[in-house]
Each structure stands twice: as C-alpha cells, then as structure tokens.
Amino acid sequence: MKMFRRFLSAVLLAVLGATVAHAQSPRAGEAVFLVASPQFRDPTYFHTVLIASPLDNGGHIGIILNRPTTRSLASLFPEHEPSKKVADPVYFGGPFSRSALVAVVHRDASPGQGSLPLMKSLYLAINVGTIDQIIESTPNEARYYVGYVGWRPGELRREIDRGLWAVLNADAKTVFRKDTEGMWEELHRMTRQITASTDSDEPGAPDRL
C-alpha cells in the first residue's frame, strides 16, 4: 500500500513540476479563495469553495474545501496505524489524480519535501513521506484530501474573466472550519456585498491571478 502511495506521489510531483517539490519558503498572500458562481453548473464544482495558489510555471493548483466524504483516513489506509488518530473525514479535493492523497497543513515552517507554501503558516503537502510524518507527529493539524484541481498557464484567469469564479482573500480559519456546510453560501454572500459596495476600501477581491 505504501509503495502504491509513493508511486502516486511521484506522479503528482512530476505533474506539478520540480519547483513545487523544492519549495521551502512561504510567499505570504499568494493563495486565494475561489467561490464558484451560481451559474457554474459543472457538478464537480457546483457550489464549491477552493483555495488556489499560483505555480512558478504560470499554472495554478487548487483544493476544494467544502466536499467532505464519508470515509476516514483509517478506512483508506487500514494498515497504517497512525491514520487512526485523524479525527476529520477525508475530503474530495478535486478531479485531478483523485487516487492521490494530499494534505493542507498548518505549520510555521515547511513540513518537508514536496510542500507548496499557500500562505503564511499554511502548506500543501504532496510527498507521501512528508504526509506520513504529518500524520505520525501532528495528525490533526492538517486536513487530508483525495485529488486536486489544476489549471494550465492562463486558464484560471480566463475562467475568472468568464465569471465562473469570484475571488476572495484566503484565511486558515476558513480552510480548517469543522462544519463546511453553508461555506459556499456565506462566501457567495460576501462576494455579492463586496461587488455591491463600490465605495468600500475593504480588501476582499484581490486581482493577482
């Protein structure tokens, strides 16, 4: 089982590029929330909220935040004893490489090889060895996902320009909120308020993608 997970991790790292594998220093403020438009009828993304971050090759990677599954990490990896310590369910992160496990982890420093800094003290861990260390040392300071979302260079910008996504500043508290039901509705209302409030100076819709 671990060899299969390592193979999936290697494939994912190859897809994302060596830059992700060696990223060690946080670049604060780059990750954003993407809130799906009500008109986005693709069932994969309907009423979803994502955290998305740019890659050095000009593309982007994202994780769906509000799609918990009914599976526990222990049920996916029954022979991995430390997985039984993880309290939260596994989440569906996206349709790309949905057999691969990734983790979003709250750490002051990089958790290890194959970790992409999303924002200050928040990392996306891809390498299976790093994920195993997280599970064994601080299992509940991370959230675990199967699959992810990927965009080629310029693709996400075009989707935003088409009105498929609204963009908000990201924060770790929302990423790790226990009850994700209602997350899309809350953030969608926020995007509407920001759009309607033309005189507001509140930073809510960053244009850095």
Residue 17 has pLDDT above 50, yes or no: no
Average of per-residue pLDDT values in the chain: 84
Closest C-alpha among 63, 55, 118, 72 to residue 94? 63
pTM value? 0.82
Write the pLDDT tens digit of every residue in 67-108.
999 999 999 999 889 999 999 999 999 999 988 999 999 999
**Mean pLDDT, residues 119-146 taken together:** 94
Q: Give me the percent of the chain exceeding a pLDDT of 70.
A: 80
Provide the residue ranges of all domains of the chain, joining segments of one domain with +. Answer: 2-196
More confident residue, 3 or 38: 38
Fold that domain 2-196 belongs to in CATH: VC0467-like (3.40.1740)
Q: What whole-number distance in Å separates Cα of residue 156 and Cα of residue 111?
A: 27
